[in-house]
Amino acid sequence: MSRIGSWGLAAGLAWAAWWLAPSPACAQGVPVGTAQNAVGTLVVVRTDGIEHRLQGRGSLPLFEGDVLRTEPGSQAMVQMRPGAPVALNEKTSLKILSRWEKTAGTIRILRVSQGEVWAKAGSGQAALEIETPAAVATVRDAEVDLKVAEDGQSALTVVSGSAEFGTPFGVCAVKGGTASVGARGAACTAPQPANAAAAVGWKQAVNQ
């Protein structure tokens, strides 16, 4: 084996080891998504305080720790990697985070402090968790809308698939076409039938 070949093999194996092994989330460096479209303005605040603004179509890389904010009258569409589209309605603020687990790898988390998001997530690494001040929704092979009021009250509507919705007082399995509410100091409400199409009608403009 030639010297170049052996070094190439070694480098390849090292790269493979790096790529395959789970690791805890680190500082900003590797994009975890892309902001693709904004009706009005999407403000992205990096961990060092630097602000970027997306107006119209674009390709703004997103990193762990970024805070995304839409102003009144603004909406945005972002693509979380791998393959989880997320839309922000007006007056929404969320932070991109993650949890690392030895057995499950990195789980992408969106921490919504207020506003409304729509998300469609797959399974495995394409799953999402959406945290609010009062609840958490685990979105796996599902499409959901989550609206967060100023007091943290969180209304989850599942468009398709099913999602796990939890508060400190209990967990609800919410199926497609139903909705549940999580409020501070209370368990999530029993899922009730909901007009899912109407709940996500707001995102049509940013979907265009």
Partner 1 sequence: MRSIRSAVGRCSAIVALSVLALTGCATETQTPKEATDESARSRVFVANESSNSVTVIDGDSFQVVGTVDARNHATHDLAVSRDGRWLFATNLASGRVSAINTRALETVASIATGDRAHVVTLTNDNRQAWVANIGDNTISIVDTTSFRILGTIGVGKGPTGLTFSRDGRFAYVSNQGDKTVEIIDTTSLKVIKAIPVGTNPHFLVLGPDGRIWGTNTGGTDIYVIDPATQDKIASINVGPAPQQIAFGFKGLQGPNAYVTVAGLNRVVVVSADPKNLRILEQIDVGQRPNGISGNREGTRLFVVHEISNDLKVIDTGSSSVLATVPVGRKPIRVVYHGN
Point out which residues bind partner 1 (CB under 8 A): 1-3, 5-7, 9-11, 13-15, 17-18, 21, 23-27, 97-103, 109, 111, 129, 131, 133-136, 138, 152, 166-168, 184-185
Bridge partners (DSSP) listed for residue 97: 109
The least distance separating partner 1 from the CB of residue 40, rounded to whole angstroms, comes to 27
The residue among 103 and 208 lying less far from partner 1, judged by its C-beta, is 103
Token duo for residue 18: 């790096």
The least distance separating partner 1 from the CB of residue 47, rounded to whole angstroms, comes to 10
Assess contact for 46 and 75: CB atoms under 8 A: no
The least distance separating partner 1 from the CB of residue 30, rounded to whole angstroms, comes to 12
User: 């909705």: which residue's tokens?
Assistant: 179
> Closest Cα to residue 88, out of 28, 36, 51?
36
Radius of gyration of the chain (CA): 19
Polymer length of the chain: 208
Token duo for residue 37: 């479209």
User: 């403000």: which residue's tokens?
Assistant: 43
- Rounded CA separation 34/116 (Å): 19
The least distance separating partner 1 from the CB of residue 121, rounded to whole angstroms, comes to 15
Which element (helix H / strand E) includes 27?
A: none
The residue among 126 and 171 lying less far from partner 1, judged by its C-beta, is 171
The residue among 12 and 31 lying less far from partner 1, judged by its C-beta, is 12
DSSP string, 46-99: -TTS-EEEEEEEEEEEE-TT-EEEE-TT-EEEEEETTTEEEEE-TT-EEEEEEE
The residue among 26 and 198 lying less far from partner 1, judged by its C-beta, is 26
The least distance separating partner 1 from the CB of residue 12, rounded to whole angstroms, comes to 9
The least distance separating partner 1 from the CB of residue 64, rounded to whole angstroms, comes to 9
Residue 45 phi, psi dihedral angles, 5° rounding: -105, 120
